[in-house]
Chains A and B, each alone.
Chain A
Amino acid sequence: MSSNAARPDDIDTDGGIDDATRLALYRTLLEIRLVEKRAYDLFVQNLVKGTSHLALGQEAVAAGFAVAMRPDDYTFCTYRGHHHTLARGAPMVGVLGELMGRKCGLMGGKGGSMHLTSVRHGVMGSYAIVGAHLPIAAGAAWSAQYRGSGQVAVCFFGDGTTNIGAFHEALNFAVVWKLPVIFVCENNLYMEYTPIRSVTAVEHPAAGRASAYGLAAVIVDGNDADAVYRLARGAIARARAGDGPALIEAKTYRHSGHSRADPAKYRPAGELEEWLKRDPVTLYRERLIAAGVDEGALREIETAAVRAVDEATEGAKASPPSPVDVVEQDVWSDGGAAWRN
């Protein structure tokens, strides 16, 4: 094995998690859950047009990583990216407003649900072409490496992404250049409407490919926020120290269909119910209580989260539709769209 084929099986997943961090994890889980449920309600009310891909059930992957990241680290995610965008601290009103095509949206309605971006929160984009953002995240990591900034790029993608070429190009590239990038596969068992196992040559779509790039196969319970956080903390520290990329497969499950249009009838009876028993939000709440965390503190978080989501909803509803003059803005850096003189 060549010297640049780093093996991240030395990720440090030990160490405690202090109470403040645990409460931050819980708050993040809960806020994502409540915003996603609200997004669903807003579809039903026909206030969200187009499509949307909810991350209900996948909150712990986003929370575990975001809480472990430095504010200037980079997040790259997919069209199923509301949770990652919120977890980095992007305002709820900006997220809901973007879904609703309002002026207050993170991108003033020009991106929509699938392209949430908030650069000031390190959310460098949600990418709707499967696999595209893996090389882009590698490029951001290259820039961090070149500038010596110590920043790390974390790139989230679905199990279906592991079968597209850009995944393989990016993995090889990142390992050869020893880039500070963490590739995180959220394996929710389905590529859109099809069970991932029926279209994939290996049992674990990401971890099973890791050895091809000199990487360790790392699998984590994606519904366990503590487990994700510990692994994230270790992998990020390792990348920040210059020891190269990691590929992580988080096993999780989406509670709803692929997108708004999908009732998820293809799922075998009882599967959803089994996963709901391991709902990452309730699982974490129970764990905190069992660990002796004051339930009053959790109730405070819950009350505040409900209020924040309600306020964000009202704020987004009160915001006017995006003005049409933005249509011919921001193609270029001068703010315009002119292609001729």
Chain B
Amino acid sequence: MAELSYREAVAAGIAQEMERDERVVMLGEDIADAGGVFKTTVGLLERFGPRRVRDTPISEQAIVGAAMGAAMTGLIPIAEIMFSDFFAVCWDMIANEIAKARYMCAGQLTLPLVIRTANGSGSRFGAQHSQSVENWAMAVPGLKVVAPSTPADVKGLMAAAVRDPDPVIFFEHKGLFATRGEVPDGELVDRLGVARVLRPGGDITVLALAAMVPRALAAADQLARDHGISATVVDVRSLVPLDTRTILEEVTRTGRLYIVEENPRLCGWGAEIASIVAEECFYDLDGPIVRITTPHVPLPAADALEDHAVPSVERIVETVRRTAG
């Protein structure tokens, strides 16, 4: 076991796959010489050379489009879009081209590619550099979507994403880059579409993703300590494919469901899960499904405002305490 930071785990996962497979190549803004603006690709240029680790102009359509063209012709590109907010300037490539090409041509094309991006709040960058847009990606048929919360998951899911034959949107969370955790030694390959129960509890089930996971865990500790409420915490990890089996099992077991989402309220990923739970285990519920989300607003910049907008440990505890009774 080695302890890595979340940002080091990004490079470790990519390096593991580039070492294994010559077809894996990288492109993006400032990823090579600079090692990434979030320092997530440090050392990869030195290790794999400028032919495989390539800086691009500020041309998001060219970055993602070139990744698509390379994927359909024999490479496995890992494209970086620096901030997930910039998906909006290359959304045609992601949502119209990459997601649909295989379907439209009845399987003639295969697109094994990964689009990595820094998602979420915590950096006080304001409404155009702090969004959580995982629900955008989830809404488009043809994209797989993962959002790891720990260094081990970053490395293992990166490997799974690179090895998956379909396009994977890989959300790295800005607020987690500095966090550290144990990462198993040797080759690490995880599976897409598997949620993980991080903490067992008997009273309620809390679902969370990415940076909301450590908050949900901290909230669960407080709920147990201060309020006698025992919470199961599930790290959803993968939105597409979605591990509904684990989710439904855990909800059925506790009878109460809380969903902690960083994306803005409307059509957030938790809304889909709430709908599935309501359809498929309604009679196992002992109370309403409760979604704890960022309000339906653009994210403000100032620290106090951002902290107020995004679900906090305190808001999770308070919401559960008020409603779980």
Q: Are A and B physically bound partners?
A: yes
Residues of A bordering B, CB below 8 Å: 74, 76, 106-108, 110-111, 115, 117-120, 124-125, 127, 129, 131-144, 146-147, 151, 153, 165-166, 169-170, 172-173, 176-177, 326, 329-333, 335, 337-341
* Cβ–Cβ contact B108 & A136, under 8 A: no
Once A169-B61, A173-B66 are accepted as A-B contacts, the answer to whether A132 and B106 lie under 8 Å apart by CB is no
5 A-B pairs in the complex with CB atoms less than 8 angstroms apart: A107-B104, A125-B109, A139-B66, A140-B70, A341-B244
Whether a CB of chain A sits under 8 angstroms from the CB of B200 is no
Whether a CB of chain A sits under 8 angstroms from the CB of B228 is no
Whether a CB of chain A sits under 8 angstroms from the CB of B110 is yes
Once A127-B97, A139-B67 are accepted as A-B contacts, the answer to whether A341 and B241 lie under 8 Å apart by CB is yes
- Chain B minimum-CB-distance residue to A117: B105
CB distance from B297 to the nearest CB of A (A): 29
Contacts of B166 in A (CB 8 A): 332-333
Task: Give the docked Cα–Cα distance between A171 and B103 (Å).
Answer: 28
Once A132-B96, A331-B102, A331-B103 are accepted as A-B contacts, the answer to whether A138 and B108 lie under 8 Å apart by CB is no
Which of the segments B71-79, B206-214, B311-319 contacts the partner chain?
Answer: B71-79
Name the contact of A137 in the complex, choosing from B59, B69, B77, B112 (C-beta under 8 A): B69
* Cβ–Cβ contact B59 & A125, under 8 A: no
Whether a CB of chain A sits under 8 angstroms from the CB of B305 is no
Contacts of A339 in B (CB 8 A): 141, 240-242
CB distance from A192 to the nearest CB of B (A): 18
- Chain A minimum-CB-distance residue to B95: A129
Given A139-B68, A333-B166, 9 extra CB contacts under 8 A: A74-B73, A110-B104, A117-B105, A125-B104, A135-B68, A140-B72, A332-B166, A341-B241, A341-B242
Contacts of A332 in B (CB 8 A): 102, 165-166
CB distance from A49 to the nearest CB of B (A): 16
- Chain B minimum-CB-distance residue to A124: B72
* Cβ–Cβ contact B245 & A341, under 8 A: yes
Name the contact of A115 in the complex, choosing from B72, B75, B105 (C-beta under 8 A): B105
Residues of B bordering A, CB below 8 Å: 25, 51, 54, 56-57, 59, 61-75, 77, 92-93, 96-97, 101-110, 112, 141-142, 165-166, 193, 240-245, 276
Once A124-B72, A340-B242 are accepted as A-B contacts, the answer to whether A135 and B66 lie under 8 Å apart by CB is yes
- Chain A minimum-CB-distance residue to B58: A169
* Cβ–Cβ contact B243 & A140, under 8 A: no
Please report whether the interface of chain B is mostly helix, strand, loop or mixed according to DSSP: mixed
Contacts of B165 in A (CB 8 A): 332-333
Name the contact of A111 in the complex, choosing from B104, B112, B243 (C-beta under 8 A): B104
* Cβ–Cβ contact B141 & A136, under 8 A: no
* Cβ–Cβ contact A337 & B97, under 8 A: no
7 shortest A-B CB distances, which residue pairs?
A: A139-B69, A135-B65, A139-B66, A333-B165, A169-B59, A140-B69, A117-B105
- Chain B minimum-CB-distance residue to A137: B69
Contacts of A125 in B (CB 8 A): 101, 104-105, 109
Once A340-B242, A341-B193 are accepted as A-B contacts, the answer to whether A138 and B74 lie under 8 Å apart by CB is no
- Chain A minimum-CB-distance residue to B65: A135
* Cβ–Cβ contact B92 & A136, under 8 A: no
CB distance from A180 to the nearest CB of B (A): 12
Contacts of B65 in A (CB 8 A): 132-136, 138-139, 166, 169-170
- Candidate in B105, B241, B244, B276 with the most chain A CB atoms within 10 angstroms: B105
- Chain B minimum-CB-distance residue to A338: B241
CB distance from A213 to the nearest CB of B (A): 11
CB distance from A36 to the nearest CB of B (A): 21
* Cβ–Cβ contact A132 & B92, under 8 A: yes
* Cβ–Cβ contact B69 & A107, under 8 A: no
Contacts of A169 in B (CB 8 A): 57, 59, 61-62, 65
Task: Give the docked Cα–Cα distance between A230 and B19 (Å).
Answer: 44
* Cβ–Cβ contact B105 & A135, under 8 A: no
Once A147-B74, A339-B241 are accepted as A-B contacts, the answer to whether A107 and B66 lie under 8 Å apart by CB is no
Name the contact of A330 in the complex, choosing from B59, B93, B103, B242 (C-beta under 8 A): B103
Name the contact of B141 in the complex, choosing from A127, A337, A341 (C-beta under 8 A): A337
- Candidate in B25, B63, B65, B112 with the most chain A CB atoms within 10 angstroms: B65
* Cβ–Cβ contact A119 & B106, under 8 A: no
- Chain A minimum-CB-distance residue to B144: A332
* Cβ–Cβ contact A173 & B107, under 8 A: no
Task: Give the docked Cα–Cα distance between A166 and B66 (Å).
Answer: 11
* Cβ–Cβ contact A143 & B75, under 8 A: yes
Contacts of A147 in B (CB 8 A): 74-75
* Cβ–Cβ contact A136 & B68, under 8 A: yes
Once A138-B66, A140-B73, A153-B69 are accepted as A-B contacts, the answer to whether A146 and B51 lie under 8 Å apart by CB is yes
- Candidate in B54, B56, B72, B241 with the most chain A CB atoms within 10 angstroms: B72
* Cβ–Cβ contact B69 & A141, under 8 A: yes
Contacts of B68 in A (CB 8 A): 135-136, 139
CB distance from B134 to the nearest CB of A (A): 14
Task: Give the docked Cα–Cα distance between A329 and B102 (Å).
Answer: 10
Contacts of B70 in A (CB 8 A): 139-140, 142-143, 146
* Cβ–Cβ contact A135 & B61, under 8 A: yes
Contacts of B25 in A (CB 8 A): 146
